[in-house]
Amino acid sequence: MEPPWTVEQAMSDGVSKKELIEWLTEHADEAVKVRHKINKSALKKRSKDKAIKAYKDVLDPSRDIADVGTLPTESNQTEADQAAEKVKLIGVMINFIDMDQEERPQLELKLHPESTIAQVKDAIEAAEGIPAECCLLFNRRNPRMANDRTLFELRVEDKGTLHLQTREVE
pLDDT at residue 147 tops 60: yes
What's this model's pTM, rounded to 2 decimal places?
0.49
SS3 category, 74: helix
Please give the helix or strand (H or E) that residue 59 lies within, else none. helix 48-59
Most confidently modeled of 33-42, 75-84, 152-161?
152-161
pLDDT at residue 78 tops 70: no
pLDDT at residue 84 tops 70: no
Give which of 127, 137, 56 is closest to 98, Cα–Cα. 137
